[in-house]
Amino acid sequence: MSSVDMSVNIAGLKLKNPVMTASGTFGFGEEYGEYYDLKRLGAVVVKGLTLKPRKGNPPPRTVETPAGMLNSVGLQNPGVDFFLEKELPRLLNRGACVIANISGASVDEYCLMMERLSESGVAAVELNLSCPNVKEGGIAFGIKPDLVYEVTRRVKECSQKPVIVKLSPNVTDIVEIALAAAEGGGDAVSLINTLLAMDIDINTRKPVLGNTYGGLSGPAVKPVALRMVHQVAGAVDIPVIGMGGILDWRDAVQFILAGAKAVAVGTANFVNPLAPVEIIEGIEGYAIKQGFTSVEDMVGALL
Amino acid sequence: MKGPKVLQVVENKPIAAGIYRLELYHPALCEGVLPGQFFHIKCGGDKFPLLRRPISLSYTKRKEDAVVLVYRVQGQGTEYLSSRKPGDPLDVLGPLGSGFEVNGQYERVAIVGGGIGIAPLVELAGIYGDRAAVFAGFKDETFLLKELQERSPDVRVATEDGSVGYGGFVTDLLLKHIKEQRLDMVFACGPRPMLKTVARICRENSVGCQVSLEQRMACGVGACLGCSCATKDKDGGLQYSRVCKDGPVFNSEEVCWDE
C-alpha cells in the first residue's frame, strides 16, 4: 500500500494519478493498450478529433531533430462520430479515464463537437486551439486572447464536462492567453503544444516535411515548456496540466514543482512504450523520498 | 509485461561498404517473427538520438536462437548501431508490423530486392526455397548472395554497372521471367522507383504483388500516424496508411504510387 496519495483533482475530475498521455501521441489507446493496462494512467488524452474525418498531411510527416522531433501529421482522424461509436466504447471497456481533444474550423464546430461529447462517457474535453499543422480554418484561435476567451465561453455554455484549454507556445505572451481561457470559463489549461518549426534537406534543397512546417516536441522544448508552465501557474487560479519534452519521472517532477497539477507524456511514448507507467512509479518514489504524503502537496512546491 | 527487450549483440560486422550484418541473441523472438516484420531499435547511448530506428528482419538462425538484421549506415542512429560490439546490449522493440504472406499453396513465386531492400527478403527466400526465383539488384557491390543461394537454388543477380550478373535493372530480369513463367505471387522490397516498376509489371501480367515500404518512423506501433504512405481506400480515394502497423508489407495495388 502506497503511503503517497497519488490522486489529483482537476476541476472536479479526480484522476488516480497525475500522468496522462499527450494528444496525438497515443492514438485511441489501442496500440499502447497492448503494453500495459490503460487503467493505470491518470487519463488517456486521445488523438485530436475534428467534426468530419481528416486524411492528414502528405508524408514525410516526421523527422528527428537535435534532442527532439518534428511532426506534421495534420490531424488525421476518423471524425468525432466514429470516435463516439467505435473508439470510445473500446477505451471505456478497458477502464480508461478518457479525455477527448477537439479542433474546430469555427466556434460553431467546437460547439457541435462539444454537444456530442457532452452526452458521452468522456471525462473531460481538451480544446486544441492551435494545431500548428493545419492551414485551413481561417483563424488560429489560440494566438489571440479575445478569440480564446470567446471560443472557451461558447464551448462552456454547451458543455456538461470539464473543459481544458490547450495553449500554443507560438505566441508573444502565453500568460495573456491563459488568462483569457480562465476568464472564458475554462476549467483548466494544458501547455505546451508543439513549437512551430522546420527542417531542410540541403542535398535536395527541399523542406524535409511534406507540409514544410511541423511541430517540434521532445526534450528540446522542455526548458521552454517549464518556463511557460511556471509563468502560467503563477498567473491563473485554474489547474495547469504541464507537458513538453517529458521523457522520464524527473522531467515530470520538474513540471509538478513548477506548478502543474498533472502532466502529459507525449514523444516519450515513441521511445519507450512503458514511459507513462514508469513515470507514475518514479513520481511516487520521489514523493516518498522527499517526504510528501500527496502529489497535490508537490504542486508548485518550487522553493 | 510486453515491452522493449534488452538483447545481446552476438555479431555486428560490415558485409559491404556501409552495409552491416547484426546478429542478436533471443530465443523467443526467433520463434515468433515473420519475414517482412521489423524491429524498432534504440540507437543511442543514453537519450540521443531520441527515436528508435526500424530495421527489418533479414533472417533467423533458429539453431543459434538468433535473429539477423542487415542495415545500411545512413545517419546518426545507424552510425551508433554500427559501433555496437559483440556482448553489448541493445534495446529492441518488436517484432512489429505485418509480414509477407507465407502461403503453402503458392507453387511459383518471384522475390525481387534492390539494394538494402534485399535484406528483408532473405527469410522469405528460405520459406519458398525451390518454389522461388530470387532477383537481387545492386548498384555495384553485391551482398547477401551466399545467404540467398543457401536458401533458394535460383538466384539471379543484376548490377547497374554490369560488374556481376546482368548489367541493368533487376526489374528487366523480372519482366523477362514473368513472361516465361506463370507466377502465383511476387514479393518485393527496394527503392520506391523499383517497387513502382515491379508493381506495374505485375499488374500488366495479372500477377499479385506484395511490397515492403519504407518511411521515417516515430512510434513504430501505429499510434502517432507519423510514417504514413498514400494508399487507396475502399472507394478508390486516397487515404494515408501507417507503414509501421498497416504495413510495412502492402498489396501493391493498394499503394498510390504517384503520391
Q: What are A58-114's pLDDT values in tens digits?
A: 999 999 999 999 999 999 999 999 999 999 999 999 999 999 999 998 889 999 999
Instruction: Tell how strand A124-128 and strand A98-102 pair up.
Output: parallel
Query: For position B1, what pLDDT does the model report?
Result: 55
Is the Cβ of A118 closer than 8 Å to some Cβ of chain B? no
Chain B partners within 8 Å of A75 (Cβ):
none
Q: Answer for the pair A8, A18: CB distance below 8 angstroms, yes or no.
A: yes
What is the rounded average pLDDT for all residues in chain A? 94
A109-132, pLDDT tens digit by residue? 999 999 999 999 999 999 998 765
Chain B partners within 8 Å of A26 (Cβ):
223
Q: Answer for the pair A262, A276: CB distance below 8 angstroms, yes or no.
A: no
A263-296, pLDDT tens digit by residue? 999 999 999 999 999 999 999 999 999 999 999 9
B36-89, pLDDT tens digit by residue? 999 999 998 778 899 999 999 999 998 888 999 999 999 999 999 999 999 999
Distance between CA atoms of A61 and B180, rounded to whole angstroms?
42
Task: Name the closest residue on chain B to residue A278, using Cα atoms.
Answer: B3
Task: Name the closest residue on chain A to residue B44, using Cα atoms.
Answer: A271
B78-136, pLDDT tens digit by residue? 999 999 999 999 999 999 999 999 999 999 999 999 999 999 999 999 999 999 999 99
Catalytic residue status for A131: yes
List strands edge to edge, sheet with A188-191: A19-21, A262-265, A240-243, A188-191, A163-166, A124-128, A98-102, A44-45
Query: For position A62, what pLDDT does the model report?
Result: 96
Q: Is the pLDDT of residue A133 over 60?
A: no
Chain B partners within 8 Å of A68 (Cβ):
50
Are B225 and A27 inside 8 Å of each other by CB?
yes
**Helix count and strand count (H, E) for chain A:** 10, 16
Chain B partners within 8 Å of A32 (Cβ):
221, 223
Query: For position B32, what pLDDT does the model report?
Result: 81
- Best mutation target among A61, A217, A281 (most B Cβ atoms within 10 Å) is A61
Query: For position B181, what pLDDT does the model report?
Result: 92
Is the Cβ of B4 closer than 8 Å to some Cβ of chain A? yes
Please provide the DSSP assignment of A95-139 as one string.
Answer: T--EEEEE--SSHHHHHHHHHHHHTSS-SEEEEE---TT---SS-
Number of cross-chain residue pairs from A and B with Cβ atoms under 8 Å apart: 107
Chain A partners within 8 Å of B233 (Cβ):
none
Is the Cβ of B224 closer than 8 Å to some Cβ of chain A? yes
Is the Cβ of A79 closer than 8 Å to some Cβ of chain B? no
Is the Cβ of A31 closer than 8 Å to some Cβ of chain B? yes
Q: How much is the pTM?
A: 0.93
Are A270 and B224 inside 8 Å of each other by CB?
yes
Q: Is the pLDDT of residue A2 over 80?
A: no
Residues 6+ apart with CB under 8 A from A57: A72, A73, A74, A76, A133, A209, A210, A211
In chain B, positions 9-68, which contact chain A (CB-CB < 8 Å)?
Answer: 42, 47-52
Are B224 and A55 inside 8 Å of each other by CB?
no
At residue B6 the predicted structure's pLDDT band, cuts being 50, 70 and 90, is very high
Q: Is the pLDDT of residue A137 over 80?
A: no
Calculate mean pLDDT across residues B189-218: 96
Write down the residue that cell numbers 500568460 correspond to. Answer: A175
